[in-house]
C-alpha cells in the first residue's frame, strides 16, 4: 500500500510520465513484493481510473515465491550440479519422498544434514564464486559452516518473519558500507546523517512480518487480467534455485506458445527459455542470484527484448 501511494504521488507530481508503459521489476525477496505491488496497482486502477498507472507487466529474478516449491528446490539443485553424490540423492529421495522442506523422520533429517555439510563451504548466491570470509562481523559474511540450516531458515524467514540482523553469507559489503556511510553522500541524497543511523547490508532496525506463504495465486490473477510476466533465474544460484522456479511456473499449467529452447546473445547461448501464454520463464546460464550483477549483457538483452514485446 505504501509503495502504491508513493507511485500515485510520483505521477501526480510528474504527470508527463503517466502515459509511459509501467513495469514493476525486482529480484530475490522482490518475488514477494513485486507481484503484490502489481496487484495493488491493478486494484487501484479499477477503483479509481482517473489516477490509473499504465501497468503493463512485471519482471522477477530468482524470486522467493512459494515456500513448498522454494523449499523443495535445494536437493534437486545441488544434486543436479554434482555437489552431492548420486547415492546420497537417491537415499534422500527415498527417505524424504520429495518433501525436503517439511522433512520428517530421523533418517531424512540425518541425510539432509549430510547434504548440508557437503555444500557448507559454498557461496550460497553463486556456487562457482568464492565465499568471502573477512576478519570481522561488520565486513564479512558468515565463516564457512553448515549452510544447510541457514538455507532452509532463509526461505522460512522469507515466508514468515524476516531475520534482518544476520550477516549475509559470503558477501563482502565493506565497500558499500564505506561509501554509503559518508556524511557528504547522506547530504546529497537528503538522508539522515551517519551519527543518527548507519547503513548495513542487513539491519535489525525494522521488524517485518510477511503475510504470504505463496504468491502463485497473485501471478494467476495478474495473468487473468492480461498482464505480461517474465520470470528469470540465474542457474547457479543456491539461494533461490532455478529448480523451484521452473517447477512453480510449470505448475500454472498455462498453454505453451514456444517450447524450451536456447536464447542467444552475441551468437552465444545465454540460457534457456520457455514461453507460455502471458508468461515467459528464462534461465541465465552461469548467473548467480542477482543476474544484472553477474551477467550484465545478458540481463540488458532479455530486459530490452521483453519491454519491446519481442521473444527472447
Cβ count near 104 (within 10 Å): 11
- 284, 234 contact by CB (below 8 A): yes
Active site residue 86: no
Helix (H) or strand (E) holding 175: helix 174-180
Contacts of 311 (CB under 8 A, 6+ apart): 258, 273, 275, 305
Catalytic residue among 120, 157, 237, 287: 237
Three-state DSSP state, 82: coil
Query: CA of 26: how far to CAs of 97, 153, 232, in Å?
Result: 33, 22, 10
Active site residue 258: no
β-pairing verdict for 279-284 and 22-27? unpaired
Active site residue 159: no
Rounded to whole angstroms, how far apart are CA atoms 105 and 59?
A: 38
Catalytic residue among 28, 95, 158, 287: 28
Rounded to whole angstroms, how far apart are CA atoms 46 and 24?
A: 18
Catalytic residue among 70, 173, 219, 289: 289
* Residue 23: strand pairing partners: 57
- 34, 60 contact by CB (below 8 A): yes
Active site residues: 28, 237, 289
Amino acid at each position: 500500500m505504501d509503495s502504491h501511494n508513493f507511485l500515485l504521488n510520483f505521477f501526480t507530481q510528474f504527470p508527463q510520465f503517466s502515459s509511459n508503459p509501467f513495469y514493476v521489476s525486482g529480484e530475490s525477496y522482490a518475488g514477494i513484493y513485486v507481484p503484490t505491488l502489481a496487484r495493488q496497482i491493478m486494484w487501484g486502477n479499477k477503483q479509481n481510473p482517473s489516477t490509473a498507472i499504465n501497468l503493463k507487466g512485471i519482471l522477477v529474478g530468482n524470486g522467493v515465491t512459494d515456500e513448498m516449491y522454494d523449499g523443495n528446490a535445494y536437493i534437486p539443485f545441488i544434486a543436479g550440479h554434482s555437489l552431492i553424490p548420486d547415492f546420497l540423492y537417491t537415499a534422500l529421495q527415498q527417505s524424504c519422498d520429495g518433501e525436503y522442506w517439511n522433512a520428517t523422520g530421523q533418517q531424512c533429517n540425518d541425510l539432509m544434514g549430510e547434504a548440508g555439510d557437503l555444500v557448507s563451504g559454498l557461496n550460497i548466491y553463486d556456487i562457482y564464486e568464492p565465499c568471502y570470509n573477512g576478519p570481522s562481523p561488520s565486513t564479512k559474511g558468515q565463516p564457512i559452516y553448515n549452510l544447510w540450516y541457514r538455507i532452509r531458515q532463509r526461505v522460512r524467514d522469507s515466508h514468515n518473519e524476516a531475520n534482518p540482523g544476520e550477516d549475509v553469507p559470503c558477501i563482502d559489503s565493506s565497500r558499500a558500507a564505506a561509501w554509503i556511510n559518508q556524511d557528504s553522500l547522506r547530504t546529497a541524497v537528503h538522508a539522515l546523517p551517519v551519527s543518527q543511523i548507519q547503513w548495513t547490508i542487513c539491519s535489525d532496525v525494522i521488524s517485518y512480518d510477511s503475510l504470504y506463504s505463496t504468491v502463485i495465486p497473485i501471478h494467476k490473477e495478474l495473468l487473468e487480467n492480461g498482464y505480461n510476466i517474465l520470470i528469470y533465474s540465474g542457474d547457479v544460484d543456491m539461494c533461490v534455485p532455478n529448480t523451484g522456479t521452473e517447477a512453480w511456473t510449470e505448475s500454472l499449467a498455462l498453454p505453451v506458445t514456444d517450447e524450451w529452447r536456447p536464447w542467444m546473445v552475441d551468437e552465444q547461448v545465454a540460457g534457456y527459455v520457455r514461453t507460455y501464454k502471458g508468461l515467459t520463464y528464462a534461465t541465465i546460464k552461469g548467473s548467480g542470484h542477482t543476474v544484472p550483477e553477474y551477467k550484465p549483457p545478458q540481463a540488458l538483452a532479455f530486459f530490452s527484448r521483453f519491454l519491446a514485446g519481442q521473444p527472447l
